[in-house]
Amino acid sequence: MKQQQVTLVAVDDDPTTLELIKESLDGMDLQIRTITDPDEGLNHILETQPDIAVLDLVLPGRDGMELLEAIVQKSPNTEVLLMTGHYSTDSALEAIQKGACDYLTKPISVADFRLRISRLATEANRRQEALKLDSEMFSTHRFEGMVGQSPLMRDLFARIRRIAPHFRTVLITGSTGTGKELVARALHRLSPVSSGRFVDFNCSAVVESLFESELFGYVKGAFTGAQSDRMGLFEHANNGVLFLDELGDTPLNMQSKLLRALQNQEIRRVGSPLTHKVNVRVIAATNRNLPKMISEGTFRDDLYYRLSMVELKVPRLAERKEDVSLLVRHFLEYFNEQYGKNIRGLTPRAQATLSRYWWPGNVRELENVLGAACMMAQDSMIDVRDLRESIKNPPTSASAEDGENIVPLADLERQHARSTLKRMRGNKVKTAEALGISRATLYRLLEEVDGDDSEAKTG
């Protein structure tokens, strides 16, 4: 896919300055539009959302700062460079605080101006390349409704493929919001009973007195209100899969009956002396620590051993940070369709905000955050202003589950450098360019990664 040409719009009431800008940038691969009227210029910038905008600070009837604020609010992916014939430290500081990327004094130095625009154009090309790479990676890292490129997720996908043709029972463990049901549905779709039903049952959503009749059914007259025979979920899932979600909330007195159904593949309806044979594959999921519950006497060890013949652990999002960009694209695609929008991605500021957050709610929280941001976004890019306040200003690290989900920023930088190097097939020059850092900085990050690995191997 050919890279799009970087677009630049210059707004200045002086035609001579605009002509100088065009001459200064001659030979650069830029699509340039010059406009003398400030209102026309602002409307054009908001409509086309160029990569770069060059604005005069003093315009007839309009203040350049006003235009800057409007552009930052409504075209957050546009880098704004301000020019003025009357430099002051205060105005330069104000411009930077309001979102300008640079501030120049007139008369402009052709060489200096060309250098600064060249840097901005390079950054714009890098953003385009990053979007392109994310798109390519997204198409090759999908698996049965899930996305991931991290080693933990690749290992999970491989285990699902191996297990699906053979399992009778599987236990899926992981924190809330990690996607345990998606794993269960993937196992069903890849199993020999994929044409059969996938029946899900939330063990925490049913009162204890109805638990047995929900799973095994009942016969007429078994209890008050039982006016006819009713099939339970085990029979309903016959020749298919029964998914027991929130297994850790199963009442203790029901665990022995559930174990018997799993061992014998037969059930007895409530109020009936007869047993029925069933052919059901059972997948259970929990966010609870079942071994700890066993030691506390609230979960049966024999049921745990029966179900955990195969155990799949779904990693927390904090353990697979390199998948965040893929998940973002996945959810943007979904919400674009839901809301009829065409959001292309996140601004660098929004990306940085998401990368600093520790995601205690895991993938489900990321989905909810992006869903809300897509509703709020007025432009083609999600900016920081579109994110929830709890994401922009999260609680202190001390409140984050004793810090177990927090990944230091330095670790994220090292992980991102290593991930980008893999995407660039080991080419360190291209990796440094894609990251926008010097090769010396890249080598330092990679040396730290190697150092960490060596310590882990020898420690």
Spatial distance between the Cα atoms of 421 and 91, rounded to a whole number of angstroms? 41
Residue 436 has pLDDT above 70, yes or no: no
Give whole-number Cα distances, 149 to 13, 53, 141, 255, in Å: 51, 36, 6, 37
User: Tell me, what DSSP letter sits at residue 228?
Assistant: S
Name the β-bridge partners of 143: 146
**Inter-residue contact 149 to 192 (CB < 8 Å):** no
pLDDT, tens digit, 9 for 90 and up, residues 34-90? 999 999 999 999 999 999 999 998 888 887 788 888 998 888 888 999 888 876 767
pLDDT, tens digit, 9 for 90 and up, residues 129-163? 766 665 555 566 888 889 998 889 989 999 999 99
**What is the arithmetic mean of pLDDT over 385-392?**
89
**Inter-residue contact 368 to 361 (CB < 8 Å):** yes
Has this prediction a pTM greater than 0.85? no
**Inter-residue contact 57 to 28 (CB < 8 Å):** no
Contacts of 363-372 spanning 24+ positions with Cβ under 8 A: 363/177, 363/178, 363/179, 363/317, 363/327, 364/176, 364/177, 364/178, 364/179, 365/177, 365/317, 366/317, 366/324, 366/327, 366/328, 366/331, 367/327, 367/331, 370/328, 370/331, 370/332, 370/335, 371/331, 371/335
Of how many residues is the chain composed?
Answer: 459
Number of C-alpha atoms within 13 angstroms, CB side, residue 110?
8
Counting residues of the chain whose pLDDT is more than 70, the rounded percentage is 87
- Percent of the chain that is helix, strand, coil (3-state, to 5): 50, 15, 30
For residue 458, the model assigns a pLDDT of 35
For residue 456, the model assigns a pLDDT of 35
DSSP H or E run through 199: strand 198-202
For residue 390, the model assigns a pLDDT of 86
pLDDT, tens digit, 9 for 90 and up, residues 153-212? 989 999 999 999 999 999 999 999 999 999 999 999 999 999 999 999 999 999 988 999
For residue 90, the model assigns a pLDDT of 74
3-state SS assignment for residue 359: coil
Q: What is the mean pLDDT of the chain?
A: 86
Name the β-bridge partners of 230: 218
pLDDT, tens digit, 9 for 90 and up, residues 11-35? 999 999 999 999 999 989 899 999 9
Give whole-number Cα distances, 171 to 53, 57, 120, 316, in Å: 55, 64, 51, 17
